[in-house]
A and B are shown apart, each in its own frame.
Chain A
Amino acid sequence: MKTIKQLLCLCFLTIFVPAHAVASSSLVVDLSSNQIEITTDFTGTNLLLFGAIDRKGDVVVVVRGPLRQEVVRRKERVAGIWINRAAVTFADVPGYNFVASSRPLDQIASEETLRRLQIGSERLRLQPVDLSNKDLASSFRNGLIDLKKRKALYSDLPGIVSIRSEKLFRADLKFPSNVPTGSYTAEIYHFNAGKAVSVSRTNLSVQKAGVEAAIYNYAHDHSALYGIVAILIALFAGWLGGVVFRKA
């Protein structure tokens, strides 16, 4: 497992980081847990990310959730009432995008670098399925990011990563209660003088567990039986209520 992670890191480094920087930096990272289980009392959770850098610099953490297609609609006024009219479909939209950094991003690296690494909600490469209408797509893209931010699914939090004695760093990664299930990646960047000198990548997963998982899976795998059981529960509860409250 460790070797696979290192291999992944290596791949990443070769893709994104200038070759001369790779050899001269090391970054060690770990997460308090690689799995988030959604149970009945789940109200969101925090994971502790911690690690060490071997020299001065900034640390940026990007946690990205499962990709899926999203259809964004825009309301327009028609005959006095607001109706959903135009719609744009975006492919591969991260369900969750959390960016934590030791300082505001614009002080850490150039806009060009951040954009290339897709660090920050506004810099995500969100592509509409239909590429013909550029103007429409750009305004819908902003609408999509704004929607995700309001649902607390996209957030950019400068100052959340704290670095001690220019060596040890830690950050609390927040996951809201509406966090989508699926596989996530956490990318940890070490920036020095505006360059990503090192990057580490780790996977985590968000899954329903216990009763939650049982109900969800039953609803999807045996939907007809699920419907019948739902009706029977309701009939029984209604009957029971009637009996309990019957006046003598």
Chain B
Amino acid sequence: MDLYFPIAEMSINVLLLLALGGGVGMLSGMFGVGGGFLMTPLLIFIGVPPAVAVGTEANQVVAASVSGALAHWRRGNVDFKMGFILLIGGFFGSSFGVWIFTKLRALGYIDIVISLCFVTFLGIVGGLMVAEGARSWLRSRSSKPTPKKKLHQHTWMHGLPFKMRFRRSKLYISALLPLSIGIFVGILSAIMGVGGGFIMVPAMIYLLGMPTSVVVGTSLFQIIFVTANVTFLQSVNNQTVDVLLALVLVISSVIGAQFGTAFGSKLKSEQLRALLGILVLAVGCKVGFDLIVTPAHLFSFAVSGGH
């Protein structure tokens, strides 16, 4: 069963799209990532023009995140105060990111910058998570008593001004930290056409020291607004958001996310981290491999706006 999509200007098999959306939606609910880092490359792979894939994906991530965030909110897993600070940063970051995107595209370097961003961040984040997962797995195997963790490891970050108390996360840290994480992830979010959860989640765990239980819900909460901002800006600047394509992906991913959330809460957080790490690393390797291997076809048409 094929459907013609008006902005992508091509017909795609709906069952294939439902399967992709459902699968990515499930991961999104499980790991608290928007799923964009998987869906955008997959859409491009099935032939959707890259500009349309990036714009449409932002729109789809909005829905996937709402449904995921609601599920986590009901379990009390959202730190709204933290989410709000991240969101302010994310809003500015993503607006700036769309501006960079437009500049880079005019210069013809957007494809390579997107790919390099994917390789760099997926590689670093995935590698860290797998290493961490493997360490904790080895620890539990050797059944040595886990070294007692200090409740507060004081570093230079704790000397920063504008300290705020985040009750839900049991943290007392400078608001500048989540703000700058929000800005940074927002920029990447716009350039790479992703929600940014795969960077946000580890940043919240390792940099802010938030408890894993609230990380996923809080990340989803702020992704809703950042991707909504990207959807709006892409619609206005490039007309590359295909609502029909997004709707098909949304329906499947919303259903997938529900199963993912339920399944994710059954897994231990170490397992969750290691699994996400492997996934992130695999996508990063694939993108990196495509950069190095001699392409079958050297020529391509430049992405032309939406026209």
Question: A: which residues have CB within 8 A of B?
Answer: 38-44, 70-75, 77, 80-84, 87, 140, 143-144, 146-147, 150, 177-178, 180-181, 208, 211-213, 215-216, 219-220, 223-224, 226-231, 233-235, 237-242, 245-246
| Best-buried of A72, A211, A216, A231 by chain B (most CB within 10 Å) | A231
- Tell me how far the C-beta of A26 lies from the nearest C-beta in chain B, rounded to whole angstroms: 40
Scan residues 207-241 of chain B and give those whose CB is less than 8 A from a CB of chain A: 224, 228, 231-236, 239, 241
Chain A residues whose CB sits within 8 angstroms of the CB of B187 once the complex forms: none
Q: Which of B150-158, B160-168, B289-297 contacts A (4 or more CB under 8 A)?
A: B289-297
A–B pairs, 24, beta carbons within 8 Å = A41-B4, A73-B301, A81-B112, A82-B294, A84-B108, A87-B108, A146-B297, A147-B297, A147-B299, A213-B6, A215-B6, A216-B7, A219-B239, A219-B241, A223-B239, A226-B239, A227-B235, A233-B246, A233-B250, A234-B62, A239-B66, A242-B67, A242-B70, A242-B258
Instruction: Contact check, B299 vs A212: say whether CB atoms are below 8 A apart.
Output: no
Q: In chain B, what residue has the closest Cβ to A139?
A: B299
Instruction: Contact check, B4 vs A228: say whether CB atoms are below 8 A apart.
Output: no
Instruction: Contact check, B243 vs A71: say whether CB atoms are below 8 A apart.
Output: no
Q: In chain B, what residue has the closest Cβ to A240?
A: B254
Candidates B228, B241, B257, B295; contact of A241 at CB < 8 Å: B257
A150 to B301, CA, bound (A): 12
Chain A residues whose CB sits within 8 angstroms of the CB of B20 once the complex forms: none
Q: In chain A, what residue has the closest Cβ to B232?
A: A227
Interface assignment of B111: CB less than 8 Å from any CB of chain A: yes
Instruction: Contact check, B299 vs A143: say whether CB atoms are below 8 A apart.
Output: yes
- Tell me how far the C-beta of B148 lies from the nearest C-beta in chain A, rounded to whole angstroms: 37
- Tell me how far the C-beta of A36 lies from the nearest C-beta in chain B, rounded to whole angstroms: 12
- Tell me how far the C-beta of A241 lies from the nearest C-beta in chain B, rounded to whole angstroms: 3
A143 to B298, CA, bound (A): 8
Given contacts A41-B4, A72-B302, contact A241 B254 (CB under 8 A): yes
Given contacts A81-B291, A241-B257, contact A73 B299 (CB under 8 A): yes
Interface assignment of B19: CB less than 8 Å from any CB of chain A: no
Interface assignment of B169: CB less than 8 Å from any CB of chain A: no
Instruction: Contact check, A234 vs B63: say whether CB atoms are below 8 A apart.
Output: yes
| Best-buried of A39, A42, A80 by chain B (most CB within 10 Å) | A42
Interface assignment of B16: CB less than 8 Å from any CB of chain A: no
Instruction: Contact check, A144 vs B299: say whether CB atoms are below 8 A apart.
Output: yes
Given contacts A226-B235, A227-B232, A237-B63, contact A178 B9 (CB under 8 A): yes
- Tell me how far the C-beta of B304 lies from the nearest C-beta in chain A, rounded to whole angstroms: 7
Chain A residues whose CB sits within 8 angstroms of the CB of B4 once the complex forms: 38-43, 177, 212
Chain A residues whose CB sits within 8 angstroms of the CB of B299 once the complex forms: 72-75, 140, 143-144, 146-147
Instruction: Contact check, B108 vs A212: say whether CB atoms are below 8 A apart.
Output: no
Candidates A75, A178, A181, A237; contact of B295 at CB < 8 Å: A75
Candidates A43, A84, A212, A213; contact of B300 at CB < 8 Å: A84
